[in-house]
Structure 1
Amino acid sequence: MTCRNGIALALMLSLCVAPLAATAAAASVDATAPLPEGDRAFYMEVGEAAQQAERGDTLGAAIVFERLLADPRLATLPVEGRSHVWASAAMVAAEQKDFTLATQRLQQALAINPRNAYARLRLAWFQLHGQQPVAAADSVIRGAADSEGSPDITTDMVWQLDTELKDLPEKRLALLQALFDRSWKNDGVEPVELWVTLATLQVEAGHGDRVAATLERVDAPIALVRLRSDKRFDPYLQRDDARHEPVAAARRQIDRLRVETMLRPGLNETAVELATALMIAGELGDVVGMTDQLAAAANAATEAPDEEGFSIGWMLDTRSRALRRLGENDRAVANQLIAVRMAGATDMVSQKLNLAALYMALHRPMMAREVLRELDSADMSVYGISSHALVSLMTARQLNDEAAAQRAWTVLQANRTAAPGQYRDALITDNRMDEAAQTVIAQLADPMERGQVLLELQDMREGPVLVGERDYHDRWNQMEKRADVQAAVAKVGRIATYPLFAY
């Protein structure tokens, strides 16, 4: 019921802050350049303070940085060095949770050196945290341009920004184009979903001359299914070319990711992407096999290392889905429970929503409700809040709890524009089929919603339909066969059959 769209910003901040101070301090010194003795000594003090913060003594490091920022030697440093010292001091302030001070210091770093990409990209975090998505996007665009190589920005922040800019297509286009032009990747993995969004924005903005270059970096099966289903991309895709054939792309993706996991072994984004690619291709046994040892180790552990929790959580989540599709429901639940425990603070919201959805599908509504009660909406995006409400509605219907159903509807109604897919699924759940069809037709007419709903309408592989989701499944099939829905599809796209899972 939920996608890997990112995590709560407060959690992202806590994840990104810890390693940053030393990075900025290290950047302030060119080890090959001769330095005056006084400057070298000052840089060493800065580096020691940053290391002190990394060891956990952030209060002590903060005190040292207060002294260093007032030290007359700071004014004698070159522009780049002074700027980096201020950036290091900012990130120590962030570790102290003083985000206002951190922002002020980053602004000072940029006043000294406007081309300090490190400071610019860190400032974007705090602008986003301060609910200034346009300013954050501008900082990313500028920081990307000033970066040497790929911009140092996480996928979570990019996804968050992309979501926040949903109603600002020109700014969204500028952001994604800036990242594309600087060859930004997600931990070495091409973010093809974002490039499909970029290509869509380019078509809508009349930048057709840029679309072909964007699509050159889209070589993944589900992204290609979306593109092939949308008539806007017919001028840019040759449907009989193996380069644009989803099943062939699935094989290429798996082969490519297998090589990359050998070159970069461990629990990382590449391993997660490989498990997902195997799932999409229907190689369910391979998903289970590649995660057997991980599941055994995770089952014996109480928590995952902080730096690996995200990857472990999602690999076990994928394993759980594979087991469900293999008909091993009890093992699927057991592994999803481990995924929740291992994800920890990094992505527990998504894992718990998926656990609740699994319980609901198995017609275990009380267990689903118990999981949902553990979630705090403050930790969720609008997508997450709406997903929570949708599962709550489905669970309420299984329990014949009208009051709970109405509470869920209040949330779904409030977020129907931001999360139309969940609102539509709620309509189907309550058998309001005419309204559901009209929502689908509206999604097909929306330039940015069209690709997702076309993907959902394709004839693709499915796992066993569980008892708790049977009514919804039957109603969805009824809806997509309606003449008004079929006519709306024919205007903008097409439906085809693919021997792949959609996720």
Structure 2
Amino acid sequence: MLSTLFVAAALAGAPATAAPVSPDRTTVQASAQTSAPAQSIEDLAQKFGAELHAPDYEAALATAQAIEAHPDFAGWPTQRRRAVILMLGLLNASFEHYEAALPWLVQATGWSDTDKSVWLTRVEVELHLHDIDAATNTLTTVVRRFPDALPDISEDFLLQRAHARDADPEAAFALRLALYDAGWRNPLASWVWVSLIDDLMRHDRADEAVALVPLVTNPTAQVQLHALKRYDALMAKAGAGEFDIAQAYDKDLEADRLAAEDTAGDKALDKRNIYISSLLLRGRNEQVLALADAALAQPENKSDVEAAESRTWIMDTRARALMALGRRDEALAQQQAAAARAEAGQDNVSQRINLGWLYLRLGRNADALAAVKGIGRDEASAFGVMQAVQVRACAAHALGSSELEATAYAYLSEHHKDAPGAWRDALACKGDADGIAALMLEQLADPAQADQAVADMHDWMTPTGLTEFDLALERVRAEARTRPEVVAAHDRVARTFTLPQLGDMF
């Protein structure tokens, strides 16, 4: 962003003595009131350059708009016109005027020599505007056009977008294939490769999927490939032998341990977070607390956004371990502390949702509603909104708030494919075993959804520290998944495994 602003400023006639800093995200008008030009376009260009250099980005945005509206703008040299167009896109994006920014960024990315940072800004803007398909398509173009840029893009962001369920299936397929073709590999990308296997099989390209099987190293993802019968021919071609489940999970945990112990510097906390989370899933709660306490005792580098996020998630995992050990007051205090932390400089939506769920588990339904108040599409992904609405639905049902309950359940029903587990557990909150059974039958009949129901029917470890709320939900879920028609539908498409790990967590 900085170098792009600097180059654009120079092209527009600004002094090229120093690169301006990024603009503050203050509120400015998205459009300037312009009238017949009282200044020449060259005078405006000099003014624009001075404002960028000052820096006064609010004024620079207004001046850029005046330059673009000037009658002499069309006759300006191409490079200078492009610089102003680029600045209109970048400045509007920086001031969060996303609708105003997008047309300029689309125009700028139509030039053959546009920098990759401009393309990535366009992706960000499209995501803010909730145009998930457009953002996915734009990111695919970035990956194909600038494969060398992949190391500069957040790995977490790539994992999230490549495995997201909220994009058009064909757009998501194109992104996953582009990442694979570009040589992108990530040890946490097993589910991305499972999705790409599904994509290729759906397009009758199963032979190409064989090479992906060795990339699936996460044991739960491996379980899916061995459990669902639709993969049998693929696994045979890939030479997959008998699956040693215990060995796979132990190997994965050991890899996480080594990474946590061997990694230093900026990535150390991230690797510890992954290992601590893995220990939680194995039910090793005392170890979770010991390692979490040691990690949280280290001085915090508040300027490192990724480290701050890892720290927050370690707090979240610590709260879960405390709950599993029956230390509920400590768990709540820890989850409240996690929810109070910023998330990438913004309100911490993820931890607020998790806090809301913890309140539900503790029977504090009014507090659960307060925790997720106001969370919608402007604050969270489609998956995140489903989780927030799930909390809202369960709390409203418990409180007898019929209007809020009806609104929440209507949303969950309409959007249940965004987060099937959220819909399942919301149905469990009101004791609707019939609804859960119907959902599972729908999932098992559809290859695109079957993985969720199949995963629900594995024999997972039994968690500890369960509350009355947890036990009530599990009774309803167990009633649904043991119905003969559900078992028969499952057995037609999958196998059941006993797994040395806790199952689905909110």
* Residue of 20, 29, 35 corresponding to 1:49: 20
Q: How does 1:146-157 map to 2 (within 5 A)?
A: 146-151=145-150, 152-154=152-154, 155-156=156-157
> What are the superposed Cα offsets for residues 327-374 of structure 1, whole Å, 9 maximum, x if unpaired?
222221111111101244546222111111112112222332332336
Q: Report what 1:430 is aligned to.
A: 430
CA change 1:52–1:406 in 2 (3 A) is: closer
In structure 1, C-alpha distance between the alignment counterparts of 2:24 and 2:404, rounded to whole Å: 47
Instruction: Tell me how far apart the structure 2 counterparts of residues 233 and 224 of structure 1 sit (CA, whole Å).
Output: 11
Structure 1 pair 419–253 and aligned structure 2 pair: CA distance change class (3 A):
same
Measure, in 1, the Cα distance between the counterparts of 2:67 and 2:21: 12
Instruction: Assess, with a 3 A threshold, how the Cα gap between structure 1 residues 76 and 471 changes in structure 2: closer, same or farther.
Output: closer
Q: More helix by proportion, 1 or 2?
A: 1
**2:220 aligns with one of 219, 222, 235:** 222
For residues 141-169 of structure 1, the C-alpha deviation after alignment (integer angstroms, 9 at most, x for no partner) is: 22111114253544447635764654x32
Label 1:61 to 1:52 Cα distance change in 2 as closer, same or farther (>3 A): farther
Q: Which segment drifts farther, 229-238 or 459-468?
A: 229-238
What is the aligned partner in structure 2 of residue 257 from structure 1? 259
Q: How far off its partner does 1:44 sit?
A: 7.7
Matched-pair contact (CA < 8 Å) for 1:150–1:182: no
Whether the aligned pair in 1 keeps the contact of 2:176 and 2:192 (CA below 8 Å) is: yes
Computing the radius of gyration over CA atoms, which structure comes out larger, 1 or 2? 2
Q: Which 5+ residue runs of structure 2 have no aligned equivalent? A: 26-53
Cα deviation for residue 497 of structure 1 reads: 0.6
1:202 and 2:197 equivalent? no
Contact conserved, 2:20 with 2:55, CA < 8 A, in 1? Answer: no
Aligned residue among 248, 251, 256 for 2:250: 248
Structure 1 residues 269-278 or 151-160, which shifts more?
A: 151-160
1:373 equivalenced with 2:373 (yes/no): yes
Aligned AA (2:124): W
2:179 corresponds in structure 1 to: 179
Higher relative contact order (CA 8 A, sep 6+): 1
Show the 5 A alignment for 1:19-38.
21-24=1-4
Instruction: Give 1:487 shift.
Output: 0.9
2:352 match: 352
Larger mean Cα displacement after TM superposition, 121-130 or 83-92: 83-92
Residues 384 and 265 of structure 1: CA distance in aligned 2, closer, same or farther (over 3 Å): closer
Structure 1 residues 352, 96: CA separation in 2 closer, same or farther (over 3 Å shift)? closer
> Are 2:476 and 1:475 aligned?
yes
Give the aligned residue type for 1:218.
V
Contact 1:224 1:244 in 2 (8 A): no
Distance 2:347 2:189 in 1: 19
**1:174-215 C-alpha deviation (Å, 9 max, x unpaired):** 111112222446xx6533222222222222222212223223
State the Cα distance separating 1:443 from its structure 2 match.
Answer: 0.9
Runs of 4+ in structure 1 over 6 Å off: 39-44, 51-56, 63-71, 81-86
Scaled by the length of structure 2, what TM-score is found?
A: 0.77
Give the residue type in structure 1 aligned to 2:421. Answer: G
Equivalent residue number for residue 486 of structure 2: 485
Q: Select between 417-426 and 218-227 the one with higher mean Cα deviation.
A: 417-426
CA distance in 2, matches of 1:278, 1:212: 31
- AA paired with 1:95? S
Residues 1:218 and 1:305: Cα distance change in structure 2 (over 3 Å): same
**How far, CA to CA, are the matches of 2:170 and 2:13 in structure 1?**
45
Structure 1's 93 and 156: CA in aligned 2 closer, same or farther, altered over 3 A? same
Give the gaps of 5 or more residues in structure 1: 1-20, 30-38
Counterparts of 2:23 and 2:169, CA distance in 1: 43
CA contact (8 A) 1:90 1:103 kept: yes
Q: Work out the CA distance in 1 between the residues paired with 2:384 and 2:191.
A: 19
- 1:40–1:92: structure 2 CA closer, same or farther, 3 Å change rule? closer
Between the aligned partners of 2:413 and 2:245, the Cα distance in structure 1 is 42
Counterpart in 2 of 1:336? 335
CA distance in 1, matches of 2:365, 2:429: 15
**Structure 1 length normalisation: TM-score?**
0.78
| Separation (CA, whole Å) in 2 of partners of 1:64 and 1:373 | 39
CA distance in 1 between counterparts of 2:376 and 2:198 reads 34
- Paired with 1:198 and 1:64, the residues of 2 have a C-alpha distance of 47
Matched to 1:261, the amino acid is T
- 1:45 match: secondary structure: coil
Partner of 1:342, secondary structure, is coil
With over 3 angstroms needed to count, the CA separation of the structure-2 counterparts of 1:150 and 1:434, relative to structure 1, is: same
Q: Which residue of 2 aligns with 1:286?
A: 287
Q: Secondary structure at the match of 2:109?
A: helix
Report sequence identity in percent: 23
Please state whether the residue corresponding to 1:48 is helix, strand or coil.
coil
Amino acid at match of 2:472: D
Q: Does 1:501 align with 2:481?
A: no
1:442 positional shift = 0.8
SS state of the match for residue 369, structure 1? Answer: helix
RMSD: 4.0
Instruction: Please state how far the C-alpha of 1:496 moved relative to its aligned partner.
Output: 0.7
Q: Which amino acid aligns with 1:362?
A: L
Query: For the residues of structure 1 that align with 2:153 and 2:206, how far apart are their CA atoms?
Result: 28
Letter in 1 for 2:175: L
Partner of 2:326: 327
**What corresponds to 1:277 in structure 2?**
278
**One-letter amino acid matched to 1:233:** Y
What pairs with 1:86-235 in structure 2 (closer than 5 Å)? 90-100=89-99, 102-113=101-112, 116-151=115-150, 152-154=152-154, 155-156=156-157, 159=160, 163=164, 166=167, 168-184=168-184, 190-234=188-232, 235=234
Q: 1:368 to 1:133 in 2, by over 3 A?
A: closer
Residue identity in the other structure for 1:91: L
Tell me the distance in 2 between the aligned counterparts of 1:244 and 1:23. 51
For 1:326 and 1:431, how far apart are their aligned partners in 2? 27
Count of aligned positions:
464
SS of structure 2 residue aligned to 1:460: strand
Between the aligned partners of 1:23 and 1:226, the Cα distance in structure 2 is: 45
SS in structure 2 at match of 1:379: coil
What amino acid maps onto 1:113 in structure 2? Answer: S
Letter aligned with residue 450 of structure 1: A
Shift of 1:444: 1.5
User: Once the 2 structures are TM-superposed, how far is the Cα of residue 401 of structure 1 from its aligned partner?
Assistant: 4.4
Contact persistence 2:318–2:334 (CA under 8 A): yes
Q: 1:317 Cα shift?
A: 0.9
Shifted more, 427-436 versus 113-122: the winner is 113-122
Q: Aligned with 1:494: secondary structure? A: coil
Letter in 2 for 1:435: G
